């Protein structure tokens, strides 16, 4: 393989709508988009934050902070039922698709740890070409009303992975604004950053080129789209949701910026689309000539970052029991 061929990577952003709050139906839809990305020659396909089975748009619009609300309890119970339990094999079809098509997958899921409780996390899952789950990054801090639904995560999955000439990392939504979270990835040599969003151009259009320029990396922002007329009729409290949710809950905004901070693909709004781009690692090396955040432009003897990568648990045993 020539040096130039080894430096290039085709990536795909799948800006799609979930079959909202329906894990199995959404998963089947994702599989078709993985196949489409592979058919286009992509080595990586990325999906938005919480796409499987969907972002909790109801909270903002249905008095989600009301204490002991029967409505909120019913919706949360359904959300737990539809959440992804990795140990139960819910992602096995995606893993099989990754192996079959020899493609990496980064996808946002609502994760429930079935062995420990009924709390859910907004997680970014990275699957490699062998179909192995390489990391599960639980969002460090849910944003505003998300805290009524999602639990805070930890740094266990805050990792980068080698992908050809690149180092792949990812963050969820507003944790992309957390300087130390970004720095934890930069310090691992990140050169390909996936930022997952629920779906809004206002979120992606400023931070995507900023992260790319700061990290001298390629930044891929991937969002979803969702319109009220696409709500599944079998949802619990369907009539309430239909009456209270806005016409447009997510309008997309997926985009890609290069290491110089310029858009390769400007934000795409209002429609489902598979966005494709060929990235060249040479551009990373060129831009790091003047600035390398954890290389020649760092002062490790003065400034350092400590990351506690343990999976957070409320139970620490001192004996050898289960």
Catalytic residue among 29, 107, 111, 139: 139
- Check if 255 is active-site: no
DSSP state of 245: S
Is 287 considered catalytic here? Answer: no
Tokens of 130: 């062998």
Nearest to 101 by CA among 33, 4, 179: 33
Residue among 49, 111, 146, 175 flagged as catalytic: 49
Tell me the C-alpha distance between 314 and 35, whole Å: 40
Structure tokens belonging to residue 269: 């709004």
Catalytic residue flag (residue 301): no
**Cα–Cα distances in angstroms (integers) from residue 251 to residues 15, 203, 225, 226, in the given order:** 10, 11, 5, 7
Asked if residues 106 and 46 have their Cβ atoms less than 8 Å apart, the reply is: yes
- CA dihedral angle for residue 84, residue 78, residue 247, residue 106, rounded to 10 degrees: 0
For tokens 């099989």, what's the residue? 96
Q: What are phi and psi of 218, to 5 degrees?
A: -85, 130
What sign does the CA torsion over 48, 7, 208, 293 have? Answer: positive
Q: Given the residues 95, 107, 160, 173, select the one marked as catalytic.
A: 173
Task: Give the active site residues.
Answer: 49, 139, 173
């Amino acid at each position: 393989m020539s040096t130039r061929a080894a430096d290039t990577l085709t990536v795909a952003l799948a800006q799609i709508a979930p079959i909202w709050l329906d894990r199995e139906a959404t998963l089947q839809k994702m599989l078709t988009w993985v196949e489409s990305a592979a058919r286009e020659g992509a080595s990586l396909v990325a999906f938005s934050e919480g796409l499987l089975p969907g972002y909790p748009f109801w909270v903002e619009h249905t008095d989600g902070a009301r204490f002991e609300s029967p409505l909120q309890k019913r919706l949360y119970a359904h959300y737990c039922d539809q959440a992804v339990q990795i140990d139960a094999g819910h992602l096995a079809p995606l893993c099989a698709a990754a192996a079959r098509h020899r493609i990496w997958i980064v996808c946002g899921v609502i994760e429930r740890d079935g062995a420990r409780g009924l709390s859910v996390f907004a997680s970014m899952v990275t699957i490699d070409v062998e179909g192995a789950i390489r990391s599960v990054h639980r969002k460090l801090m849910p944003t505003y009303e998300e805290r009524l639904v999602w639990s805070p995560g930890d740094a266990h999955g805050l990792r980068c992975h080698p992908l050809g000439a690149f180092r792949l990392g990812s963050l969820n939504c507003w944790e992309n604004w957390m300087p130390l979270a970004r720095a934890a990835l930069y310090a691992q040599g990140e050169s390909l950053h996936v930022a997952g969003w629920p779906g809004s151009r206002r979120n992606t259009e400023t931070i995507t080129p900023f992260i790319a320029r700061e990290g001298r990396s390629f930044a891929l922002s991937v969002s979803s789209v969702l319109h009220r007329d696409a709500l599944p009729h079998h949802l619990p409290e369907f009539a309430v949701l239909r009456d209270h949710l806005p016409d447009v809950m997510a309008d997309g905004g997926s985009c890609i910026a290069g290491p110089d901070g310029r858009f390769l693909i400007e934000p795409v709004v209002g429609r489902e689309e598979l966005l494709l781009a060929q990235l060249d690692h040479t551009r990373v090396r060129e831009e790091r000539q003047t600035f390398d955040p954890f290389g020649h432009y760092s002062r490790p003897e003065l400034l350092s970052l400590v990351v506690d990568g343990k999976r957070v648990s409320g139970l620490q045993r001192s004996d050898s029991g289960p």
